[in-house]
Amino acid sequence: MNTNPPSISRRDMLRLLALASAAGAITPQLSNAAESNSPATLHAHTQPQLRMGSEQIAILVYPEFTALDALGPHYPLAGMMGATVRFVAKTLDPVPSEGASKGGFCVKPHMTFADCQENLDLLLVPGGLTGTLAAIEDKETIKFLQSRAAKTKLVGSVCTGSLLLGAAGLLKGRKATSHWQLLEVLKNVGATPVAERIVFDGTDRVTAAGVSAGLDLGFELVRRFRGDFYAKGIQLLGEYDPHPPFPTGGNPRTADKTVVDMLNMMHAPLVERFQEAIAHTKSK
């Protein structure tokens, strides 16, 4: 058994230096090592609060997923040095995000369902609209979620991704959240809806509310994986300090009622489609 402390390359050390700077933890040892011309290495015990890790993380992507649901949490998670964060899909073909045909983009998966390991530290599921509806009724996607969830330490979702988890039977008897317009649909999958931005149920389930909540979830997950200090560094490195133009406009409880009513009217057919998709899955 190798008892030597883990070491990192000079390239990773420079990245660590940036993170340490963001967290206010620059030390002479870090600074001198970074400035040295020699292929220096930095042992993990030198800076215990910025320790290396080995988390195995998979983020599901499927046609027409909402890009920010996946890419928002990807940024802070990928900032954990030593962690492996990969996109997984049915095939290795590029996966179009929502609206890709009208100017969106595609994500190239790192691995297929078949190649994805079972004992993950985190499996994260993004949401979407028509894409999530299709995924809910896709047997292969549901089977993948069920099989990997059995041995994964933490299964999570962003936005309507919780309904996909629910369709796979992974939120039954659990507290969960989703996009505010579809929150009550969680009852149809046996979950208890909670109108919060992030909801943990035990140590193995976490759900985030609509779209932008995925960013908050990403930083919270880093905090839980690596501790407060590490998460503070990544948050500061990314200058995550949101100042939306309408401070109360992102929550249906405080937003302009006419805007809330308009969106509810526009999306009523979509809510019905989600209810029907869930009912159809349960009847199989």
- Sign of the dihedral defined by the CA atoms of residues 188, 190, 193, 197, in that order: negative
d(CA 19, CA 130): 38
Note the pLDDT tens digit of each residue in 215-239.
999 999 999 999 999 999 999 999 9
Among residues 22, 78, 159, 182, the one annotated as catalytic is 159
Entry pTM: 0.86
DSSP string for 223-254: HHHH-HHHHHHHHHHTT-----SSTTTTSTTT
For CATH 3.40.50.880, list the domain ranges present in the chain.
56-237+262-283
Report the CATH number of the 56-237+262-283 domain.
Answer: 3.40.50.880
Nearest to 42 by CA among 92, 5, 79, 68: 5
Note the pLDDT tens digit of each residue in 39-97.
444 444 446 677 789 999 999 999 999 999 999 999 999 999 999 999 999 999 999 99
User: Would you state the structure tokens that stand for residue 182, as one six-digit string?
Assistant: 């579809």
Residue 30 has pLDDT above 60, yes or no: no
Alpha-helical runs (H) found in 24-113: 28-35, 67-78
- Is residue 159 flagged as an active site residue? yes
